[in-house]
Amino acid sequence: MATFSAISNPTPFGIFDGDDVFSAEADNMVVFVKRKLGDDILSVELTKKQIFANLEESTLEYSSIINQFQARSQLVDYLGFATGSILSGSEEKFPRSNLEYLTRFAEPYAMEAGVGGSYNFVSGSISLESGRQDYNLYTELKDASGNALFDDSKGKLKIVEVFHFNPQAAYRFFDTTSAINYLNNEFSFESFTPETVFYILPVFEDILRAGQLDLSNRVRRSNYSYEINGQNIRLYPTPTRDDKTLFIKVRQYPDPNSPSYKDQTVHGVSNMSNLPFGNIQYQRINSIGRQWIRQYAVALSKEQLGLIRSKFGSIPVPGAEVSLNGSDLVSQGREDQTALKDKLKEMLETMTYDKLAELQAARAENMQKQLRYVPFPNGKAIFVG
């Protein structure tokens, strides 16, 4: 009787053909399947290659289900990393967790706040005209070379900052008859006036007085402001000279696949379909997994045998007919496959990393409850070691 290794192309895909453990298992599965399906009573119309193929499919199905649940646990740690090949071996590793997903998810918020992000802000300028308040941002905003800053292919502009404001009160002198030059105190300002008088005051006094001066400029003098409507920006007060320039910082809506720096993670792992997970090696599958594979291979063989016997309702024998149970075998085989997959998935649901963390937390909480009943004499803890 020819063994698995002696048969040419024993399995359709040949994924596990070079595994000696799988080869020995395949030979045993032929005997196991035929006896399970009643070969000693009635010949089982299955060839060795058919049973070998069912064993290979069972192993692939087990590997696929395990990898799906591994992906649920590990996907967040692999996002952006190299996709690798189907034989990378990542499916059998316990990776270190990272916060790349969280920091990347928070990046657009940092960009809107102006404290980070993946896209550059660009500064442009508009040449002001005397007596004119309204200017078109999309046509009149120029870069340093005088070219239009807006690029129609990148979508609309987002105004980040308009540099149109009066100077803040940070350094100011009063006339020589004043004795209240407080801003020089504590900060070692130079060029004191002849009548400068120094006072010993806390720093917050200077901060408050600077705020008063700034507020006075805004309330008592013409305020600098602007208003954006659609493509236009309106300036207040109306410009009175032609030699002034208004600077504006903008950003066009970015292409999410083309940040402002070279980023290969954009082309890395993006979902479960390109995780660097290969098929689990058969020789590394433990007894729990191998028993599931054996049972699933029997279920596949049962369905296959039923399909073969369904071609004939009965077989004539001398003086009678033998009725075949093809339809029953098909339904039983499919029911067994569904039950086995549901049972495996139900078990794996309790073993994802998130579920294990919940289990550990519940165990720690229950342990604390139990330790409350341990007597501590004189309020002292008991140490063993």
The domain limits of the chain are 15-96+274-313+321-371, 115-264
Sheet holding 232-236, edge to edge: 134-136, 232-236, 225-229
* 235 phi and psi angles, rounded to 5 deg: -105, 140
Residue pLDDT, tens place only, 1-51: 678 888 999 999 999 999 999 999 999 999 999 999 988 887 888 999 999
Contact status, residue 275 vs residue 80, Cβ threshold 8 Å? no
Average pLDDT, the chain: 85
pLDDT in tens, 185-204: 445 555 555 566 666 677 78
CA angle centred on 117, ends 116 and 118, rounded to 5°: 140
State pTM to two decimals. 0.74
- Residues 364 and 232: their CA atoms lie apart, in Å, by 62
Tell me what pLDDT residue 343 has: 97
pLDDT digits (tens, 9 = 90+) for 273-315: 999 999 999 999 999 999 999 999 999 999 999 998 888 766 6
